[in-house]
Amino acid sequence: MQTEELIQQADKVIMGTYKRFPIVLVKGLGTRVWDSTGKEYLDLVAGIAVCNLGHSHPRIIEAIKKQVKNLTHVSNLYYIEPQIRLAKLLVDNSFADRVFFCNSGAEANEAAIKLARKFAHENLDGHKYELICMRNSFHGRTLATVAATGQEKFHKGFEPLPEGFRFVPFDDLSALEEAISDKTCGVLLEPIQGEGGVIIPSEDYLRGVRDICDRHGLLMILDEVQVGMGRTGHFFAYEHTGVKPDILTMAKALGNGFPVGAMLATEKVSQAFVPGSHASTFGGNPLAMAAACAAVETLLQEGILENCRAMGGYFLDQLAGLMKKYATIKAIRGKGLMVAMELHGSGEEIVLKCLKKGLLINCTNGNILRFVPPLIISAGDIDQAVGILDEVMREI
């Protein structure tokens, strides 16, 4: 079927929850993808911070191929070797003692909300259930995670939303402390707000949140769905801060494209979940676990974090050069390879023009260009991307 025909058919049979670009992608390798006409693109979207090791990474392909021959799915009624291996890898490389597996970021956050409530029910006077969340945050599209998301545009039309979520401005410790009530059981936040526009808080903010949680007996829950798995230059973003959460969620890059999510917690908090408390048919599925084991091992063994830190710095320097040339650029910011260019006006035209010139980038919040490339990106790739951006901005 030709590209136009495919797009016409898609627009008839797929629900219209996405505004899509008019290309059909058919192949990916490293930092590149190709469309159905054979056109090549440099991919700085990476499935929205998912393909951190690049497309078609040989170790992921090999792990999935090997696993698919042995066992694709059973059930959590039985022990599954790759699930145990992944849990051990995550526990050995984090603050956590135990892991719950699911299939997406929203599910990981849903699990975290349930664990926080269950823990509070059993340990904190029995009547605390409220989470303090941040304005401008994003935690997913299930009803509870929409309710925890601090952006009204995601709430509209879905009311009444589940109760128990209170909002304060991000990066404001006094507002957070003032919002604590006799119902509060925890604080849920992203270390860097991703969908909200790559908003990086002050350096000591997370330390301040930890301190408030400790003084008031609250759980600190970090949503590392977007910033985890090396995106900021450490395996987890909290590692930059010297503090540890009680609960953490991850997904996106955990399987480098294979759908998988996880919720990590300390032993004390994990004890609130017992058989029957929570479950997922596909969570911890052997194929997903094999892909994720390979993704975590590759990330930690092959110098990817070092490359992320070096290329993140290089990318910011190059973008700073563009900022000197174009007054339309309001700000440049980033941590590792989570990079943003904030514009005075809309970013949509730039995204479209870049697409035409073979560069995939993403615009969030209308005016913030977000760059979340594979962490294996090279200086040559970055030069090419910045060259295309330069051309497009000159034209506009």
Which positions touch ligand PLP (CB under 6 A)? 104-106, 109, 138-140, 190, 194-195, 223, 225-226, 251
Asked if 188 and 148 touch (Cβ cutoff 8 Å), the reply is: yes
Q: DSSP string spanning 38-96?
A: --EEEESSHHHHT-TT-BT-HHHHHHHHHHHHH-S---TTS--HHHHHHHHHHHHTSS-
- Encoding tokens for residue 317? 């320097």
Minimum Å gap between C-beta 123 and ligand PLP is: 26
Minimum Å gap between C-beta 112 and ligand PLP is: 10
Beta bridge partners of 28: 33
When the beta carbons of 144 and 382 are compared against ligand PLP, the nearer one is: 144
Minimum Å gap between C-beta 225 and ligand PLP is: 4
Asked if 272 and 118 touch (Cβ cutoff 8 Å), the reply is: yes
When the beta carbons of 15 and 274 are compared against ligand PLP, the nearer one is: 15
**CA–CA separation, 60 vs 191, rounded Å?**
28
Q: Residue with the closest Cβ to ligand PLP? A: 105
**Helix extents (H) in 217-303:** 267-270, 286-301
Minimum Å gap between C-beta 104 and ligand PLP is: 4
When the beta carbons of 35 and 195 are compared against ligand PLP, the nearer one is: 195
When the beta carbons of 237 and 393 are compared against ligand PLP, the nearer one is: 237
Minimum Å gap between C-beta 165 and ligand PLP is: 14
When the beta carbons of 67 and 136 are compared against ligand PLP, the nearer one is: 136
Minimum Å gap between C-beta 265 and ligand PLP is: 17
Q: DSSP string spanning 379-391?
A: HHHHHHHHHHHHH
- Encoding tokens for residue 236? 């987890």
**CA–CA separation, 94 vs 45, rounded Å?**
26
**CA–CA separation, 99 vs 83, rounded Å?**
10
When the beta carbons of 104 and 318 are compared against ligand PLP, the nearer one is: 104
Return the SS3 of 3.
helix
Minimum Å gap between C-beta 173 and ligand PLP is: 21
Provide the 10 A C-beta neighbour count for residue 68. Answer: 12
When the beta carbons of 219 and 253 are compared against ligand PLP, the nearer one is: 253
**Helix extents (H) in the chain:** 3-13, 46-49, 58-70, 81-92, 105-123, 143-148, 173-179, 205-216, 267-270, 286-301, 304-325, 348-356, 379-395
When the beta carbons of 218 and 225 are compared against ligand PLP, the nearer one is: 225
When the beta carbons of 35 and 223 are compared against ligand PLP, the nearer one is: 223
Minimum Å gap between C-beta 352 and ligand PLP is: 22
Residue with tokens 């303090």: 132
Residues near 266 by Cβ (< 8 Å), separated by ≥ 6?
95, 96, 97, 98, 246, 247
Minimum Å gap between C-beta 35 and ligand PLP is: 24
Beta bridge partners of 27: 34
